[in-house]
Structure 1
Amino acid sequence: MISEGSTLPDHEFTFITPEGKVTRSSRDLFGGKRIVLFAVPGAFTPTCSNAHLPGYVVKADEFAACGVDGLCCLSVNDAFVMRAWQREQNAEAITMLADGDGCFVTKLGLGKETGAFGGLRAQRFALIADDGVVTRLRVEAPGQFEVSDAESLLALL
């Protein structure tokens, strides 16, 4: 599992934009920047939609004031779902990272198998990365939402 001091792995993310599908590398997204990356088990799910993502949307300006260059939300969903969820949540300030096949969370060692409920998903976690190096990492215990919320990450800055 990735840990504090680890470098985020190389990966290509796909985004849906008005111009169509666009890919960006993890190096481009995280290199030379201070980023907060938080992961949710699934877009449009109750805790993710009612608390996790909205907390970061509401606190986006506070993160920027603390020197954070960007907020990224990761989920094992496709880019179309992530874009729809972004719109539905009024989360334009958040970069939505679609990990459609779970490859990125697997590289991080933070995937979880949910069987017929949804297959491979991300564990709920949040991290702070400076120039692609993890400086803080908080992974939730199964079924919990206590250490990866926006307030908890702001307290680490």
Structure 2
Amino acid sequence: ERLGIEVVAGAPSADPAAVAHDAVRRAVAGGFRHLLVDTAGRQHTRHNLMQELLKIRRVIGKALPGAPHETLLVMDAPTGMNGIAQAREFHAAIGLTGIVVTKLDGSARGGVVVAIRREIGVPIRFVGMGEQIGDLDLFVAEDYAAALLPDAE
């Protein structure tokens, strides 16, 4: 509501791929420029959930040829080094095009970002510094390095 955007949601027991399909159809019919499909709660160690992601990806691609155009993994900075395994598994399964790192407003500095970038070669697209609308920013490597190592010159 605060963003003024439409949300397409299914019933709690709905097939996530069917909800994604409905969302793509609604976005195309409505002439939307962007569609975000949020599959929150996926764990790279849960095979059935990873298979569900693959199904969602296939369904979206059939509903809109060439889609999805971006596949972003959103991870919390406090995830630490487990984030490398998480990013590696998601990238192998669905082909990530970018990473979004959130919760950089606390004590976590998100040093794992550097390791993930080096490990899988997927760029960091955005960083989240809070929970308000304006708290998601484009990732700028120089700014991130300066914040990570404030005493370095």
- TM-score interval (norm. to shorter): 0.3 to 0.5
Q: What TM-score does the superposition give when structure 2 sets the normalisation length?
A: 0.33
Greater helix share, 1 or 2? Answer: 2
More strand by share: 1
